[in-house]
Structure 1
Amino acid sequence: MEIKLQTIITCPDCGYKKEETMPTNACQYFYECEKCKRVLKPLKGDCCVYCSFGSVKCPPIQENKKCC
């Protein structure tokens, strides 16, 4: 299975979308929306902002591994 590193993060407040490259060696717990400046944090049960707000889950989850 090929791991996808590109994801599109969508801000739940303003709807702004931005393509980001996910790191393979770290989780990202915080992400600031470029448009409205809200700091996003993972939703309950998710390990990182990519799993909560991204179009693609983070690399460890894609590999069926535990995230961080």
Structure 2
Amino acid sequence: MEIQLKSEITCTSCGYKKVEEMPTNACQFFYECNNCKTVLKPKEGDCCVYCSYGTVPCPPIQNNKSCC
């Protein structure tokens, strides 16, 4: 399976959506919404903001590996 590097992340405060390229060498723990400036953090049990708020999980999870 080919690893997808883009994920659409959705802000839980205002609903703004943006497609972002995920890092392949690190987890992203914080994400600032471009619209309302809310800083998103991973939900409990998730390794990064993409696993919590994105349409595609982060590359390590897609590869069935532990994230960071």
Would you say same fold, with TM above 0.5?
yes
Question: Normalising TM by the smaller chain, what interval?
Answer: over 0.9
Structure 2 gaps of 5+ residues are none
> Counterparts of 1:6 and 1:58 in 2: how far apart (Å)?
9
Which residue does the alignment assign to 2:39?
39
Shift of 1:11: 0.3
Give the 3-state SS of the residue equivalent to 1:3 in structure 2. Answer: coil
Q: Report how many residues are paired.
A: 68
Which residue does the alignment assign to 2:63?
63
| TM-score normalised according to structure 2 size | 0.99
Q: Map 1:3-14 onto structure 2 (within 5 A).
A: 3-14=3-14
The sequence identity of aligned pairs, in percent, is 72
Structure 1 gaps of 5+ residues are none
Which residue does the alignment assign to 2:19?
19
- Aligned Cα RMSD in Å? 0.3
Give the 3-state SS of the residue equivalent to 1:60 in structure 2. Answer: helix
Structure 1 segments (4+ residues) deviating >6 Å: none
